[in-house]
Copies of this chain bind each other. A is one copy, B any other.
Amino acid sequence: MDKIANGIWRVRFGNPESHTPVNLRETEVRTEELAKLDCHGVSPFSLSDMVIKQSARGIYLELPLKAEEHIYGFGLQLHRVDHTGRKKVIRVNSDPVADTGDSHAPVPFYVTTAGYGVLVDTSRYATFYCGTNLRKGASENKKFEQKEIGTSEIELYGYQTTEGDRSVVVDIPSAEGIDVYLFEGPDMVTAVQRYNLFSGGGVLPPMWGLGMWYRAYSAASREDVMRLAKCFRDDGMPVDVFGFEPGWQTKAYSCSFVWDESRFPDHEGMLDELYDMNYRVNLWEHLFVHPTSPMYEDLMPYSGDYEVWEGLVPDLAVKEARDIFAKHHLKEFVEKGISGFKLDECDSSDFVHSNWSFPDIATFPSGMDGEQMHNQLGTLYQSAIQAPFEALGRRTLSQVRSSGALTSPFPFVLYSDLYNHKVFIRGVVNCGFSGLLWSPEVRQAESPEDLIRRIQTAVFSPMALLNCWRIPNPPWMQVDRDKNVRGEFLDNYKDIRDICRKLFEIRMTLIPYLYTSYAKYSIEGLPPFRALVMDYPDDPNTYEIDDAYMMGDSILVAPIITGTSERDVYLPKGRWRCFWTNEAYEGGQAYTFAPGLERIPVFVKEGTLLPLAKPLPYVSDNATFDITVRAYGDRPSDCFLYEDDGTTFEYRKGSFNWVKLTWNEGVDVERIGNYTGKRYNITDWELFK
């Protein structure tokens, strides 16, 4: 067992494969920041606690799991938060319809309530059996109670869970060796921070990335785009990022990576107009390269041996392919002001009407096979697309549909074609366990109520995104798709729009707070969005909560699904304040809230100094925020706001400030750091005793 950083150990068995997340990584372990984390200096397990062996199937790994331990993680798991007693297959998939482990972003990493983390360094479709089965004979001498005979499936299967000390068994196919990384706590959140710092720290998005996002109709023309762009500004709807869907390219399945001049004549002129209106522009794409693409011939020798949708699958683990990709993106898009991309289709499909993507047995010039490539594709793609932004010294925040292990440093937020609202909320709860960001995007809505409920979740999430690729007009004008296409609008669309605007403005209000939370992600590895169990691992009431989460250190969010006017919210120990009414609630218990259509339950920890900005219509490069500070309780703690230029990488050289707010019958402000600009003006305060 090798200690490889403060609180991180590696166990090596046999001959590990070459193409694993750790071996393929291009980011640096944040050793310095790791050294600052609390640490007992004792590995969570000793070697004798573990079983590792080789079989015909590959590698067998067994780790202990105590009776009282609960397991979290495994990437963007959309169907369950607490994986104890479950089987999870770490396999990338675009439509994870069931609780199998399949995920847009499968990650072979878990943490437990006992306060440690485990990374199994493999790109294989590894299976984790999280205490699913006891060993033969374990129940031999058990006392059995007489049970009622079930007359439904749930009665027959429902009560069947294993009990007592068990093990986590990992089945890693094909491999002849494995590296296992153990992350010390002392608690779960610290183990996660350690994993994120090992990954390279969290991402710091550009400030504008925290504003509102709107993706337009797939079949939109230049006129349609400009009409929408003007309409948002005219209506005072804050929108920062304008997204183009497949229609911008000459070929979309597979991609040409070339503007369609018939739909978008003089597209550079159009982009200038959008930039003048302070929009950032994001372009949809995927990485399968159409024969008509200018990159096609160059990429041929550096591609896998099978086509997808008539296109090449570039091997982005090979420098040449990455360079061709990066160069085209730099020259054609990033240098022309494009702020980011939406990287679609980089997962793989099995569970919908058609299956697509390359076979698991495909081979690639790098030596990877299809299985390994599938689990790494999203990560390699993010890395290739980040390169031109690094080259220009400009941050991006972009979207990606697939990710994996060690990706916390990447400026990409996950999304899905799934759409169940509960599932989307669960994604926010879960993403923080594995160094991922997730956007519960708003697409269609079954009613204005549904639209509002979904926007509420979005504005309290890592990325506030409306993806309106199927409708030419804003959803607040008409939620029914066919009517929207026909231009038939709701009678009361102005009322709906006003509610939406208020919600967008809430997002804008929270930007300084959110930006600071992301800065902590970047520097300390602390996820900006977290399951409650991560902050309250000693409170078993939080173990199963999959419909409420922490946003930053002080705010608890509990979204509401359409069709219900009230919901229960469990507030952990301590005192809490309603974000809307400032009313106080004693934690350690659940309350029922019915906040009305325009609000969802949101709570602030007592003792917080909460900075709320006056909403801007967009976050320009030089935007400054006028801030009102809410002081909750008798002795609010100091608040540190992060401040930098918001768009470049100068912060890496130390060009940033911590703006320290201290309560002193008013707010004292102190700037600590080397950034010479000023993003925040503290203009007012309110005290709630």
Contact = CB atoms under 8 A, between A and B. Distances in A.
Interface in A246-303: 246-247, 251-253, 263, 290-292, 296, 300, 303
A87 B161 CA distance: 33
Interface string A157-198: 110110000000101011000000000000000000000000
A166 B362 CA distance: 15
A592 interface: no
B354 A158 contact: yes
SS class of chain A's interface: helix, strand, loop or mixed? loop
Given A151-B219, A253-B160, A369-B55, A136 B305 contact: yes
Nearest to A95: B98
A300 B136 contact: yes
Contacts of A251: 144
A360 B89 CA distance: 11
Interface string A328-339: 000000000000
Nearest to A217: B151
A360 B361 CA distance: 21
Chain A interface residue number, banded: 35 or more
Contacts of A290: 144
A21 interface: no
Contact of A359 (B55, B133, B161, B358): B133
A174 B173 contact: yes
Interface stretch (A114-122, A308-316, A632-640): A308-316
B87 A361 contact: no
Interface string A81-103: 00000110000000001111000
A350 B87 contact: yes
Given A98-B97, A360-B57, A361-B55, A355 B132 contact: yes
Interface in A127-152: 127, 129, 132-142, 144, 148-152
A141 B292 CA distance: 9
B310 A87 contact: no
Given A98-B352, A246-B149, A247-B149, A136 B306 contact: yes
B140 A60 contact: no
Given A98-B352, A171-B359, A355-B87, A139 B310 contact: yes
Interface in A525-578: none
A97 B252 CA distance: 30
6 tightest A-B CB contacts, nearest first: A139-B310, A149-B247, A133-B306, A98-B351, A171-B361, A151-B218
26 contacts: A55-B361, A55-B369, A56-B369, A86-B354, A97-B98, A127-B359, A127-B361, A132-B359, A133-B306, A133-B358, A134-B310, A136-B300, A136-B303, A136-B304, A137-B300, A138-B307, A140-B296, A144-B251, A150-B218, A150-B252, A151-B469, A158-B353, A158-B354, A160-B309, A171-B361, A173-B174
Interface of A: 17, 55-58, 60, 86-87, 97-100, 127, 129, 132-142, 144, 148-154, 156-158, 160-161, 169, 171, 173-174, 217-219, 246-247, 251-253, 263, 290-292, 296, 300, 303-313, 350-356, 358-362, 369, 371, 417, 469-470
